[in-house]
Amino acid sequence: MWRRVASLSSTISSSSRSLSRNQVFFQAAFGLSIRESYATEISKPGEEGVLRPKEKAPFITFVLGGPGSGKGTQCEKIVETFGLTHLSAGDLLRREIAMHTQNGAMILNLIKDGKIVPSEVTVKLLQKELESSNSSKFLIDGFPRTEENRVAFERIVGADPDVVLFFDCPEEEMVKRVLNRNQGRVDDNITTMKKRLKIFEALNRPVIDYYKNKGKLYTINAIGTVDDIFKQVLPIFTPFEEQLKQSRHVNPKSPLVENSS
Question: Of 178, 162, 168, 175, which Cα lies nearest the Cα of 204?
Answer: 168
Question: Of 224, 240, 241, which Cα lies nearest the Cα of 232?
Answer: 224
- Asked whether the beta carbons of 163 and 219 are under 8 A apart, the reply is no
- Binding-site sequence positions for ATP: 68-73, 181, 224
Return d(Cα 7, Cα 43) in angstroms, integer: 10
Q: What is the pLDDT of residue 187?
A: 61
Q: What is the pLDDT of residue 244?
A: 81
pLDDT tens digits along 209-256: 999 999 999 999 999 999 999 999 999 998 888 788 766 544 444 444
- List the domains of the chain with CATH numbers: 1-57 (no CATH), 60-245 (3.40.50.300)
- Binding-site sequence positions for a ribonucleoside 5'-phosphate: 94, 115-117, 142-145, 185, 196
Amino acid letter for position 95? R
Cis check: omega of the bond before 144, within 30 degrees of 0: yes
- Asked whether the beta carbons of 52 and 89 are under 8 A apart, the reply is no
- Asked whether the beta carbons of 92 and 140 are under 8 A apart, the reply is no
Q: What is the pTM of this model?
A: 0.72
pLDDT average per 10 residues of sequence, the chain (261 residues)? 35 36 34 39 35 65 94 94 92 93 91 86 95 92 94 94 96 89 64 88 95 97 96 93 66 42 37
Q: What is the pLDDT of residue 226?
A: 94
Listing DSSP states for 176-218 in one string gives HHHHHHT-S-TT--HHHHHHHHHHHHHHHHHHHHHHHHTT-EE
Q: What's the farthest any 2 CA atoms get from each other in the chain?
A: 56
- Binding-site sequence positions: 68-73, 94, 115-117, 142-145, 149, 181, 185, 196, 224
Q: What is the pLDDT of residue 246?
A: 66
Q: What is the pLDDT of residue 56?
A: 65
Q: What is the pLDDT of residue 261?
A: 37
Return d(Cα 120, Cα 151) in angstroms, integer: 10
Return d(Cα 143, Cα 164) in angstroms, integer: 10
